[in-house]
A and B are shown apart, each in its own frame.
Chain A
Amino acid sequence: MIEVKEVAKTYPGTVALEDVSLRIAAGEVLALAGENGSGKSTLMKTLAGHIRPDAGEISIDGAPVRFQNPNESVAAGIGLVEQELAVARHLSVEENILLGALPRRRYLPGAVAWKQVRKRAREVMDELAIEVDPRATLDELPVNVQQLVAIASVLSRRPKLMLLDEATSSLSEDETDHLLRTVRTLSERGMSVIFISHRMREMRQVADRIVVLRDGRVSGESELSDVSDADVVGMLVGRELSEIYPQNVPARERIVLQVDEVTARNYIQNVSVTVREGEIVGLAGLVGSGRSTLAQTIFGAIRPTAGSIRLEGKTVLFRHPADALAAGIGFVGENRRVQGILPGRTVRENLTACSLGTFSRSGVLSRRAEQDQARQAASEMGVKYTNLEDPIGGLSGGNQQKVLLARSLMRGPKLMVLDEPTRGVDVGAKAEIYQHVVQAAANGMSFLIASSELPELLGLCDTIYVLSQGRVVGRLDGNQATEEQIAALAFHTDDATEVA
């Protein structure tokens, strides 16, 4: 049994944890929920020895432990899958999985026993149904696979307590289901789990009990079977959340974006998509179906090899994302750490990174104007921060995501291309973001949103395109489509073109 007693952690200007106590029995799966910045990750990092609490105590089976570093926590049987993907991008899948514990050859000191590495890696990969070449470099693989590898790496150590900090946020539904089943099985064999997610469905699927954090304190605790979804949301947000998806205003006639038979590398083929003024268009599909490639192609980050893109009637060929930005397209990528955040730079600099031109005169920045704009953009998006001049890394994951949204909205684009815009964002903040999107759409901004969260697409979009294997396999009316319809299309394979 693992017990956390009265743990506290303060950062300059923020109380991240205050008087937090909880206990997890062997074999128990505990869901940990809370808004962005409520202290979930901080608590996980405390358990994993990445940070030391200011006060309080952690004990394992009654014996108090004081981790001086992550190694000690690992040795005590605690394994953390971090919220921000932590993998060695230039190493192979198998090396990543066994990193830190590479099996050695018996008679050749120091030499790695590669056969064993492969065998052990295979076992864990099978367990999580990771179907890639174990020798592939992580860099070449999509985020979801990288995430699975990060999970596999922790699982390979057979921890007593596994901490999953939003580990499912970039996984497909199938992968999530499989992971949660595996976790369940392992917990029946005695492994304890703390599971963090912003999705109710997942928590119900895997956990027995839920603990809710709010502003660094435990604000509620319950058996999951005793509470309704609305109860949990109430505990999370501290108020009733009546409707998450606001009423959408019908789009106008004028076409803003016309993607015509576009092919890029071999990831998308002959894709055609139309976005009207004020329209919210969704891109659905399984992970790997080409949604992100399409989004990046429109933004000029990937060059199309065939086909044409027209923006407000004019054919455009962007050679660089800067061209797309100048033409009035905004973009937020699916992987905030790789594609968005400027680590080590301040919240302000992260907010204004693509609007430098708007408050500079012949290259010289006006600090005052920049600060005003940054402050305004942050408050409009509801970013929770202490000081604009703090490094961005001090913000919780969800708040970093909001910074990225605010960054690209600051330029007032005509078209926003968003790839998984609410990844890692809590329910309350999601509702706020949806409100923003719908409001902006009513004012004539167009949206193209790639998302794996079907409820999000269904609740928000006027039109939904379904992609499968790099092709558009269906175009649905957002008000009438159902999850089943989309899923059926998304799984469709070869003869799919006829459906479109």
Chain B
Amino acid sequence: MSKLTPQTEFAGPLGLLPTRPRPQSRGQLSLNPKLTLSVVLVLLIVFFTASQPNFLTFDNFLNIARLQAVPLILAVGMTMVVLTGGADLSVGSALALSGVIAGLLYVNGVPAPAVIMLAVLCGILLGLLNGLLIGALGMSFFVVTLGTLAGYRSLALVASDGASIQLGEAPLLLTIGDGSIGILPIPVMLAALVTVFGHLALSGTGWGRKIYAVGSNREAARLAGIRVNRVLVSVYVTSGLLAGLASVIQIGRLTTASPVVGTGIELQVIAAVLLGGTILSGGSGGLGGTVLAVLMLGVLQNGLTLSGTPDFWQGAITGAILIVAVFLDHLQRRRRGLAEN
């Protein structure tokens, strides 16, 4: 977006912004989200190390990584969606619904490998519904995914009768959700693999390029021969697919499929994407920042838990961080606006 009037350009929300433009001659003073994040991450680690004796241990770090595997996988899909200028509010619900369906299939005797594939397929279908409504029918992403946020969750509750499904003996699922090869947890490796593939797709394929183009300027992308609708469908399908994959890890870890799992996780994931420097209006950003942000949120959560901060506070903290993220987004956009003039 560019300037409308001088007023809108320099007046921040609630007058939060200084009315002075950043000194441009010193240009490089500008905010780099990845750098900021790294600094915050290091500060958090130093702080918790100093205050919590069992924070800086190898086991604790593996623990953090294990807990962040699911959010990270979801955040990879979310980054792609946000890059096109949208957001997928339904990821948490899709995670639960895929998990519940996988759980039901498993307890009814479907073999584990088939269950895994069907969970992923379920995620794809849930994403496809979002994608078709948004991409093909041109509906607002906000309306559609807000609707499916409620809808998918409700279906998960209906299918499971509101109760968690105990999977019982589930060796393969347990291995995927909680196993290790050597010292490396399998879910963490899966998340890392997804991230690497996501990064390669975004930076080195035509598809990735089109995602950025669509987010940058939809009409120009269309006139450059990019089929915007298909790109939109593809990112929501990817987001769904990854929710399906994450659901396998999720149910495997505790060998339980819960219909209320992942409630509110979309906020945490979107916060991570924005904190990572991907711009809410699309077209700019990437996975590098997202990974750092997920790590930072993970360290923060872990540190708070270790220091005995009640769980109830965590929502407030995630919320505050979301607002900070949007604020950073705004700052960055303003910088981009200035640089582009």
Residues of chain A at the chain B interface (Cβ within 8 Å): 10, 12, 45, 48-52, 54, 68-71, 73-74, 82, 84, 86-88, 99-100, 153, 299, 301, 320-322, 324-326, 331, 333, 338-345, 349, 353-354, 356-357, 360, 363-365, 367, 391-394, 407
Residue of B at shortest CB range from A296? B223
Contact (Cβ within 8 A) A365 B338: no
CB-CB < 8 A to B27: which residues of A? 12
Contact (Cβ within 8 A) B206 A363: yes
* B10 at interface, CB cutoff 8 A: yes
Give chain A nearest CB distance to B216 CB in angstroms. 4
Contact (Cβ within 8 A) B222 A345: no
- How far, in whole Å, are A468 and B279 apart by their CA atoms in the complex? 44
Contact (Cβ within 8 A) A343 B340: yes
Contact (Cβ within 8 A) A363 B212: no
Give chain A nearest CB distance to B25 CB in angstroms. 5
Known: A322-B225, A356-B209. A71 touches B10 (CB 8 A): yes
Q: A68-B20, A88-B5, A321-B225 are in contact. List 18 more A-B contacts (CB 8 A).
A: A48-B6, A50-B338, A52-B21, A52-B23, A71-B6, A86-B4, A99-B4, A99-B5, A100-B5, A100-B6, A338-B217, A338-B220, A339-B219, A342-B212, A342-B224, A343-B216, A356-B210, A391-B340
Contact (Cβ within 8 A) B341 A354: no
**195-249 of chain B: CB within 8 A of chain A:** 204-207, 209-210, 212-213, 216-217, 219-227
Residue of B at shortest CB range from A52? B24
Give chain B nearest CB distance to A321 CB in angstroms. 5
Known: A71-B7, A301-B223. A365 touches B216 (CB 8 A): no
Residue of A at shortest CB range from B281? A344
- How far, in whole Å, are A84 and B217 apart by their CA atoms in the complex? 15
Give chain A nearest CB distance to B10 CB in angstroms. 5
Contact (Cβ within 8 A) B222 A342: no
Give chain A nearest CB distance to B88 CB in angstroms. 22
Of the residues A71, A353, A363, contact of B207 by C-beta under 8 Å: A363
- How far, in whole Å, are A365 and B206 apart by their CA atoms in the complex? 6
* B59 at interface, CB cutoff 8 A: no
Give chain A nearest CB distance to B339 CB in angstroms. 6
CB-CB < 8 A to A343: which residues of B? 2, 216-217, 283, 336, 340
Contact (Cβ within 8 A) B206 A360: yes
Known: A354-B224, A360-B206. A342 touches B283 (CB 8 A): yes
Contact (Cβ within 8 A) B204 A364: yes
Residue of B at shortest CB range from A41? B341
CB-CB < 8 A to A51: which residues of B? 21, 24, 338, 341
Give chain A nearest CB distance to B26 CB in angstroms. 10
Contact (Cβ within 8 A) B216 A342: yes
Residue of B at shortest CB range from A332? B223
User: Can you show 19 pairs from A to B with CB atoms below 8 A apart?
Assistant: A10-B25, A50-B6, A52-B21, A52-B25, A70-B10, A82-B3, A87-B4, A99-B7, A301-B222, A320-B225, A338-B220, A339-B219, A339-B220, A341-B220, A343-B283, A344-B216, A344-B336, A363-B207, A365-B204
Of the residues B20, B226, B279, B339, contact of A391 by C-beta under 8 Å: B339
Q: Please tell me the size bucket of the interface on B.
A: 35 or more
CB-CB < 8 A to B213: which residues of A? 342, 345, 349, 353
Residue of B at shortest CB range from A331? B223
* B36 at interface, CB cutoff 8 A: no
CB-CB < 8 A to A333: which residues of B? 223
- How far, in whole Å, are A39 and B24 apart by their CA atoms in the complex? 16
CB-CB < 8 A to B223: which residues of A? 299, 301, 321, 331, 333, 339-340
Contact (Cβ within 8 A) A393 B340: yes
CB-CB < 8 A to A87: which residues of B? 4
- How far, in whole Å, are A326 and B339 apart by their CA atoms in the complex? 35
Of the residues A99, A153, A354, A394, contact of B339 by C-beta under 8 Å: A394
CB-CB < 8 A to B226: which residues of A? 322, 353-354
Report the number of A-B residue pairs with Cβ-Cβ less than 8 Å: 146
Of the residues B4, B220, B227, B341, contact of A88 by C-beta under 8 Å: B4
> Contact flags (1/0) for B315-341 with A, using CB distance below 8 Å?
000000000000000000000101111
CB-CB < 8 A to B79: which residues of A? none
Residue of B at shortest CB range from A51? B24
Give chain B nearest CB distance to A475 CB in angstroms. 28
Known: A391-B339, A393-B339. A68 touches B216 (CB 8 A): no
- How far, in whole Å, are A12 and B27 apart by their CA atoms in the complex? 9
Scoring B2, B3, B9, B223 by chain A CB atoms within 10 A of each residue's CB, the highest score goes to B223
CB-CB < 8 A to A367: which residues of B? 204
- How far, in whole Å, are A274 and B23 apart by their CA atoms in the complex? 55
CB-CB < 8 A to B5: which residues of A? 86, 88, 99-100, 153
Contact (Cβ within 8 A) B224 A353: yes
* B284 at interface, CB cutoff 8 A: yes
Give chain A nearest CB distance to B178 CB in angstroms. 34
- How far, in whole Å, are A341 and B227 apart by their CA atoms in the complex? 17
* B180 at interface, CB cutoff 8 A: no
Known: A100-B7, A394-B339. A340 touches B204 (CB 8 A): no
Contact (Cβ within 8 A) B341 A50: yes
- How far, in whole Å, are A342 and B340 apart by their CA atoms in the complex? 11
* B307 at interface, CB cutoff 8 A: no
- How far, in whole Å, are A344 and B216 apart by their CA atoms in the complex? 7
CB-CB < 8 A to B204: which residues of A? 364-365, 367
- How far, in whole Å, are A357 and B4 apart by their CA atoms in the complex? 36
Contact (Cβ within 8 A) A354 B225: yes
Nearest 5 pairs of A and B residues by beta carbon: A393-B340, A70-B6, A322-B225, A325-B225, A356-B206
Contact (Cβ within 8 A) A342 B220: yes
- How far, in whole Å, are A153 and B33 apart by their CA atoms in the complex? 36
* B19 at interface, CB cutoff 8 A: yes
CB-CB < 8 A to A392: which residues of B? 340
- How far, in whole Å, are A357 and B341 apart by their CA atoms in the complex? 31
Give chain A nearest CB distance to B213 CB in angstroms. 5
CB-CB < 8 A to A365: which residues of B? 204-206, 209
Contact (Cβ within 8 A) A344 B284: yes
Give chain B nearest CB distance to A331 CB in angstroms. 6
- How far, in whole Å, are A74 and B3 apart by their CA atoms in the complex? 15
- How far, in whole Å, are A357 and B212 apart by their CA atoms in the complex? 16
Contact (Cβ within 8 A) A353 B221: yes
Give chain A nearest CB distance to B131 CB in angstroms. 18
CB-CB < 8 A to A153: which residues of B? 5
Residue of A at shortest CB range from B228? A320
